């Protein structure tokens, strides 16, 4: 089980998706724009409330990972999502992923959130390693990883499949010994 997550950064509140997000999540789903939502988010408006009241919380309780909203603290606007998946708590590792709404990209939200969630995961979250994979044809995601302090480990050739084509992934990680570079002591 992961502990509850509430991270406050300079401009963001990063927390588990919750019932109070129903209107914003429903608006994303209804508009057909799921870029601000995590994989596995509801595909229809009718599925939003069960997802928010049960699925998200159960995922954290089971230790599978966390689905977190990236919220502008002063406005309450959800600008994206970030989360941990493929968690192995016994081994102390998980993979991080993020998505920012198209209208909010380029404002540093993903970098700030990726750094903050890694810091949380490697301290309060009890993990020792966070993996991050970005498609080579997504330079913006690669920049986020680099700016957030993740270290590049190499390339995973043809490791991603989009249903039609195989894509190479840049492999990054952050481990507990990287925390001092972020100004964090453990």
pLDDT in tens, 99-156: 999 899 999 999 999 999 999 999 999 999 999 999 999 999 999 999 999 999 999 9
Q: Within a domain: residue 76?
A: yes
Q: Within a domain: residue 67?
A: yes
DSSP code at position 42: -
Q: Within a domain: residue 10?
A: yes
DSSP string, 56-121: HHHHHHHTS-EEEEEEETTT--EEEEEEEEEEETTTTEEEEEEEE-GGGTTSSHHHHHHHHHHHHH
Structural domain of 37: 6-182
Q: Within a domain: residue 92?
A: yes
Q: Within a domain: residue 1?
A: no
Q: Within a domain: residue 69?
A: yes
CATH of the domain at 169: 3.40.630.30
Residue 185 has pLDDT above 60, yes or no: no
pTM of the model: 0.90
Q: Within a domain: residue 133?
A: yes
- More confident position, 71 or 185: 71
Distance, in Å, from the CA atom of 157 to the CA atom of 95, rounded to the nearest integer, reads 18
Mean pLDDT of the chain: 91
Tokens of 174: 């952050």
Q: Within a domain: residue 170?
A: yes
Confidence of residue 32 (pLDDT cuts 50, 70, 90): confident
Number of domains observed in the structure of the chain: 1
What digits encode the pLDDT tens for the residues 76-91? 999 999 999 999 999 9
Which of 13, 34, 24, 25 is CA-nearest to residue 102?
Answer: 34
* Residue the block writes with tokens 């700016």: 147
Helix (H, G, I), strand (E, B) or coil at 133: strand
Confidence of residue 72 (pLDDT cuts 50, 70, 90): very high
Distance, in Å, from the CA atom of 99 to the CA atom of 34, rounded to the nearest integer, reads 9
């Amino acid at each position: 089980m992961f502990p509850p997550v509430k991270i406050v950064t300079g401009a963001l509140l990063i927390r588990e998706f919750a019932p109070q997000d129903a209107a914003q999540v429903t608006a994303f789903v209804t508009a057909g724009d799921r870029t601000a939502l995590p994989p596995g988010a509801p595909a229809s408006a009718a599925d939003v409330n069960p997802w928010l009241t049960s699925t998200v919380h159960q995922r954290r309780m089971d230790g599978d990972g966390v689905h977190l909203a990236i919220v502008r603290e002063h406005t309450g606007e959800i600008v994206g999502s970030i989360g941990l998946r493929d968690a192995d708590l016994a081994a102390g590792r998980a993979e991080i992923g993020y998505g920012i709404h198209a209208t909010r990209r380029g404002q540093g939200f993903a970098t700030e959130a990726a750094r903050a969630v890694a810091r949380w995961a490697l301290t309060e979250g009890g993990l020792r390693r966070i993996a991050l994979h970005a498609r080579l044809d997504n330079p913006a995601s690669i920049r986020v990883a680099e700016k957030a302090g993740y270290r590049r480990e190499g390339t995973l050739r043809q490791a991603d499949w989009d249903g039609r084509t195989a894509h190479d992934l840049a492999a990054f990680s952050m481990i507990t010994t990287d925390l001092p570079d972020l100004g964090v002591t453990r």
